[in-house]
Amino acid sequence: MDIVQVIGLAIVATVIIAVIKAQRPEIAIQISIAAGIIVFTMILGKISAVIELLNSYAERININTVYISTLLKIVGIAYIAEFGAEVCKDAGESAIASKVELAGKVVIIVLAVPILTSLMDLIIRIIG
Amino acid sequence: MNIELIFKIAAIGILVSVLNALLNKSGRDEQAMMTTLAGLIVVLMMIVKEIVNLFDTVKTLFHF
């Protein structure tokens, strides 16, 4: 029952933040970061099994491992960028948060270029 | 990972606010500010360690 743990942790952290925020807003932000990291790590442990499954299926049907690993990298970058952006937004810095999101999108596009070029090559070969 | 980290940070926050109020009342404003800064840095060190931990986990998990 990990979801119960997550919800309990989130509620406890929220109550503590509500208590501390009036006196020490900077520590309240740090508590929210800590809670976010703890929940994130609990969830990432779960997701590793799914990734193993994906990898094993990719090996069985002979997909090029470059594509799968690029896909996984993109998912990881999306998770981290979302996390950082939410932390910035919580602290009231939505401008920095949007920059973090932009950086995540740009990095994802750069990572996706090899897949895009192979797709384009395929299309050009079919047309020409 | 457990909830002790959150309690630790909360305890530091409460301690810092109490010290801050005490020092402010006795007229030592600059020391009160130093206390605030010290608390902030201590918590920041703990948080940075956890962030590095998280990034390492993500890196190994998603094959960076």
| pLDDT on residue A1 | 67
Q: If you write DSSP's letter for every residue of A61-115 in order, what string do you get?
A: TT--HHHHHHHHHHHHHHHHHHHHHHHHHHTT-HHHHHHHHHHHHHHHHHHHHHH
Q: Is residue B44 part of a domain?
A: yes
Q: If you write DSSP's letter for every residue of A7-29 in order, what string do you get?
A: HHHHHHHHHHHHHHTTT-HHHHH
Q: Is residue B14 part of a domain?
A: yes
Q: Is residue B60 part of a domain?
A: no
Q: What percent of chain A has pLDDT over 70?
A: 99
| Model confidence pLDDT, tens digit, residues B33-45 | 999 999 999 999 9
Q: Is residue B28 part of a domain?
A: yes
Q: Is residue B7 part of a domain?
A: yes
Range of the domain at B30: 3-54
Integer-rounded Cα Rg, in Å, for chain A is 20
Residue B46 DSSP code: H
B45 CB burial (10 A radius; 0-12, 13-18, 19+): exposed
- Mean pLDDT computed over every residue of chain A: 90
Q: Helix H segments across B1-64?
A: 4-25, 29-61
Q: What percent of chain B has pLDDT over 70?
A: 98
Q: Is residue B59 part of a domain?
A: no
Q: Could A76 and B64 be called an inter-chain contact, meaning their C-beta atoms sit closer than 8 Å?
A: yes
- B47 close to A (CB below 8 A): yes
Indicate the residue type of B27.
Answer: G
Q: Is residue B62 part of a domain?
A: no
Q: Is residue B22 part of a domain?
A: yes
Indicate the residue type of A112.
Answer: A
Do residues A66 and A55 lie in contact, with contact meaning Cβ atoms separated by under 8 Å? Answer: no
- A35 close to B (CB below 8 A): yes
Q: How confident is the model at residue A74 (pLDDT cuts 50, 70, 90)?
A: very high
Chain A residues with CB under 8 Å of B39 CB are 24, 27
* Count of domains observed in chain B: 1
pTM: 0.82
- ipTM score here? 0.82
Alpha carbon separation from A39 to A2, A13, A53, A82 (Å, rounded): 10, 11, 23, 14
- B43 close to A (CB below 8 A): yes
Is the pLDDT reported for residue A68 higher than 80?
Answer: yes
